[in-house]
Amino acid sequence: MVQVLLVLILWNTFKNNAEKVRVLDNLSNGFIKNLEPFKSNPAFEFIEGDITNLQTCMDACQNIHYVLHQAALGSVPRSIAFPLHTHAANATGFLNMMVAARDAGVQRFVYASSSSVYGDQPDSPKVESRIGKALSPYAVSKYTNELYAGVFALNYGMKVIGLRYFNVFGPRQDPNGPYAAAIPLFMDALLNNKTAFINGNGEQTRDFTFVQNAVQANIRACFTDHPESFNKVYNVALGDSISVKNLFAMLAKIAGKEAQPSFREERPGDVKNSLADISLARTFLGYEPQVKLNEGLEITFNWFKSTFSK
């Protein structure tokens, strides 16, 4: 999902007549073909590199006014299997970018956090000021980002805004690989007559958020002039939740299929229920999700149908 966000952010950035847009990506979670539409734009610059290298981060931040930091190794199961890889990309890489942005005099640093930081916090909806015990290395790495952002704002006067994404989905998500997300896996199964698997009993709930809503939050965070908006973290979500089982039923209806999922053992580290209170983002960023769940699923399904259907 990282590069999906990046591509849409690029479209919106160019709409705002940016003089220079520099992308740093190691392509571990995306494809160079997604960036092809921008290569002819003279304002576009691409650096293939890794944020675990401080000098690469320094080079990327030179003469840049705004940083929108989306780079991460996602997936709770991957973080449990490979905690060192997750820490290197999500914690060390994030710190490298913060240092590089500080030294380059970046005016604003907007970064992607995650709803995973709520951990075992039982309240619903989730409010930014109350989090629980982390349930995975991924959650720890994202909360580490928030802690570093806070101390960089405190000690270096940086204007920093964090965005806690809730289950972002949309076109261009890859259904392949061991850590693919639920929605692209469901779509692939429905389009190609495969078995769709649900981890656990399917009663777990999620606040699924169409990618364009997350892009809106990034753009608003980048350009907000609200004097109290900085040095905070905000939920970025639809503000509504659905069970995974009902999500599959909704997708099956969109696909015109009567398919039933197969249930298997639940995954360790998964949060049981997730619903966001988005009032803070509304107040300080003017955020208002424009694309509802069913519309977002239809857009995404049509893209998958045109791209992956056999």
Report, as residue numbers or ranges, the catalytic residues: 138
Burial class (CB in 10 A: 0-12, 13-18, 19+), 130: exposed
Contact criterion met (CB below 8 Å) for 238 and 287: no
The 3-state DSSP class for residue 283 equals helix
The 3-state DSSP class for residue 197 equals strand
Cα–Cα distance measured from residue 1 to residue 174, given in angstroms and rounded to the nearest whole number = 8
Closest among 83, 231, 101 to 154, alpha carbons compared: 231
Cα–Cα distance measured from residue 124 to residue 275, given in angstroms and rounded to the nearest whole number = 6
Rounded-to-10 torsion of CA 47, 53, 56, 62:
130
Contact criterion met (CB below 8 Å) for 236 and 281: yes
Closest among 237, 185, 180 to 210, alpha carbons compared: 237
Contact criterion met (CB below 8 Å) for 221 and 110: yes
Structure tokens at 170: 């949309």
> What's the chain's length in residues?
310
Greatest C-alpha distance within the chain: 57
